[in-house]
């Protein structure tokens, strides 16, 4: 879990439109202590040597093969889903979001368009609705309003732990057919932004 968190933080892309800080969630949805500590350490790093060390670590972490956490869960639509879903597509866009997060909700229609546009390129889109377990109706309303057809996971167990370790929402992971995370971003994107990232990743596969 810690290894995955470090990887995610290391490869976050600059220029994201906007994001909700995990600290804005309610107390029972707070981010893990370990994640908060790691973030504070990163924010207070001021020396040139520290910055160089951080850049070196980030470069190294990009080279690591890190798998998306194993999961077996239910979807908002009532179906079953697991890591096996990655095998069916060349690339899977996994968007972690919450109904309480404005930027998350705003990008849902963009992800729906991405899902429709990328089917011919064997690209799948999956959502993980952070608060689906505690506020199912709110999540369902967001999805229904945007006429979402791609699957959305209700996090539980290890999947919920993983989601709660994230520092900001939305966070989006790009996962290959082997279940390896090949890229990740924090903050919302529009259709053009997502398309550019996906096309770039596909060109390297």
Q: Would you give the end-to-end CA distance of the chain in angstroms? A: 26
What is the tally of structural domains in the chain?
Answer: 1
Could you read off the pLDDT of 35-70 as tens digits, one per residue? Answer: 333 433 344 444 444 444 444 444 333 445 799 999
Domain annotation covers residue 56: no
Q: What is the pLDDT of residue 175?
A: 98
- Say if residues 162 and 79 touch (Cβ distance below 8 Å): no
Residue 94 has pLDDT above 70, yes or no: yes
Tokens, residue 44: 């207070």
Residue among 51, 69, 67 nearest 59 (CA): 51
- CATH number of the structural domain spanning residue 112: 3.40.30.10
Q: What pTM value is reported for the model?
A: 0.74
Domain annotation covers residue 136: yes
Range of the domain at 161: 92-203
Domain annotation covers residue 44: no
Domain annotation covers residue 171: yes
Residue among 61, 73, 65, 81 nearest 176 (CA): 65
Answer positive or negative: Cα dihedral of 190, 22, 140, 172: positive
């Amino acid at each position: 879990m810690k290894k995955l968190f470090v990887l995610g933080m290391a490869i976050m892309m600059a220029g994201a439109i906007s994001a909700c800080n995990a600290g804005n969630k309610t107390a029972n949805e707070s981010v893990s202590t370990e994640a908060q500590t790691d973030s504070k350490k990163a924010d207070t790093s001021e020396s040139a040597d520290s910055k160089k060390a951080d850049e070196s670590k980030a470069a190294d972490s990009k080279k690591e093969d890190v798998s998306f956490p194993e999961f077996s869960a239910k979807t908002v639509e009532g179906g079953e889903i697991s890591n096996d879903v990655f095998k069916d597509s060349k690339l899977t866009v996994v968007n972690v979001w919450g109904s309480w997060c404005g930027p998350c909700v705003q990008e849902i229609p963009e992800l729906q368009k991405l899902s429709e546009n990328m089917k011919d390129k064997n690209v799948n889109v999956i959502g993980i609705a952070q608060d689906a377990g505690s506020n199912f109706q709110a999540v369902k309303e967001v999805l229904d309003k945007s006429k979402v057809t791609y699957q959305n996971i209700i996090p539980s167990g290890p999947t919920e732990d993983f989601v709660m370790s994230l520092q900001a929402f939305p966070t989006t992971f790009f996962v290959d057919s082997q279940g390896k995370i090949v890229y990740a971003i924090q903050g919302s994107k529009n259709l053009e932004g997502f398309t550019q990232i996906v096309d770039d990743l596909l060109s390297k596969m």
